[in-house]
Amino acid sequence: MLAQLLESTGEGIYGIDLDGRCTFINRAGAELLGYAPAELLGRNMHAVAHHSHADGAHYPEQQCPIFKAFREGLPCRIDSELFWRKNGSGLAVEYSSYPVIENGAVQGAVITFTDVSARRQTEDALRQAHAVLEQRVSERTQALSGALQQLRELSAYAHGVREQERTRIAREVHDELGSLLVALKMDVGWLDKRLGEQPGRSAGEAQSMRERMRGKCQNMSRLIESAVDNVGRIITDLRPSILDHQGLWAALDWQAHEFVQSAELALDWEMDVAGAVPLPEPSAIAIFRIFQEMLSNVGRHAQASRVAIAIRARAQDISITVQDNGQGAHADAFEAANAYGVMGMRERARHLGGSLQISSQIGLGSTFHLRIQLLNK
């Protein structure tokens, strides 16, 4: 009956005497180790199947939990070791050792063991997957932290630019319009004073006074015209009216020629917008601002003598290329964390569903290429 029970179980079961020799082993246990049961009877089971650690280092018998268990009369359960098969391969096992006690004395031990290779492989795969997941989470967290930091820096930069622009506008209004208005006020005060003077002058004096008043009025007229021109220029700097009245393509044309005239650069100009479709106002403004920043980059950094501008628009897409013959820069200069102008252009391009490509070489200038896909617009 006991023999049938041993043979019916899928676990390996064997017994050893006080010298560690095998007294019995069921067929399942022998097959797990790659032997026939008869091959193991009488052999030292530690020397046969438990002689080495997983790394190949010798496993002294006196350190073996199985032997310690029956020699000290205490059971043990181990789930982190290997048994070794007949062919020399390792078998991940979970085993238990229980002492056999007769008449109060330990006579040996019974060991049960189970193949847990599949479970170990699953656990290893889970650990690896967990490690990969943690690595990816760490990378994503770092990427998000970097993006958040860039966003904060970009936001701070945008606030700084706004304040600089407000300061510039305030200075221009003060310096340009303020001085003109002061001059007008002085001329008006002079006229008021002269008109309030007592009559009674001679005809010659009256004629002279009229001539002086006419001169003041003409000067005031010139001051007013200058003020109107300055107001128009400041408004144009803030938002060119041509963008509202004549559209994006006329605004790009005007901006390009205004820029090269101001920067004293030669211009290679090409515009083909015959197939263009009307754009929503926010998209047109965004493209215009990207184009302004492209030109601004040339003006601030390129030290160029010539700029080539090509603008092409079709129903499917828009392409704008600005190429200069300036000093160029390393590619990483456009990827720097403080390259806020480039970041702003790329962010606007992404918002439009487009992309901004930049190529540059030291001494060979730079090329900015904006492409906006319109198929899904």
Domain range summary for the chain, segments of one domain joined by +: 2-115, 122-237, 243-373
Among 18-22, 248-252, 330-334, 359-363, the range scoring the smallest mean pLDDT is 330-334
Residue 377, pLDDT > 50, answer no
Q: Which residues does 47 contact at the CB level (< 8 Å), separation at least 6?
A: 20, 61
pLDDT in the model for residue 21:
93
User: At residue 198, does pLDDT exceed 60?
Assistant: no
The more confident residue out of 155 and 305 is 305
Name which of 53, 37, 123 is nearest 86 in CA terms: 37
- Asked whether 314 and 276 are in contact (CB, 8 A), the reply is yes
Instruction: Give which of 178, 301, 280, 285 is closest to 238, Cα–Cα.
Output: 285
Do residues 149 and 155 make contact, with C-beta atoms less than 8 angstroms apart? no
Let me know if the fold of 2-115 is the same as that of 243-373. no
CB 275 within 8 Å of CB 313: yes
Q: Specify the fold of 243-373.
A: Heat Shock Protein 90 (3.30.565)
Q: What is the mean pLDDT of residues 19-41?
A: 93
Residues 6+ apart with CB under 8 A from 330: 360, 362
Could you say which of 3.30.450.20, 3.90.550.10, 3.40.50.920, 3.40.50.80 is the CATH number of the domain covering 2-115?
3.30.450.20
Q: What are phi and psi of 83, to 5 degrees?
A: -100, 160
Q: What sign results for the dihedral spanned by CA atoms 117, 122, 125, 131?
A: negative
**5 vs 58 pLDDT, higher one:** 58
**C-alpha to C-alpha distances, 20 to 14, 49, 56, 234, 303, nearest whole angstrom:** 11, 12, 21, 100, 89
Please write the tens of the pLDDT for every residue from 217-238: 777 777 777 776 776 666 666 6
Helix (H, G, I), strand (E, B) or coil at 53: coil
CA distances from 317 to 24, 271, 276, 310, 321 (A): 83, 14, 8, 14, 13
State the chain's mean pLDDT as an integer.
83
Pick from 14-23, 84-93, 145-154, 349-358: least confident: 145-154
Q: Report d(CA 271, CA 313) in Å as an integer.
A: 8
pTM of the model: 0.47
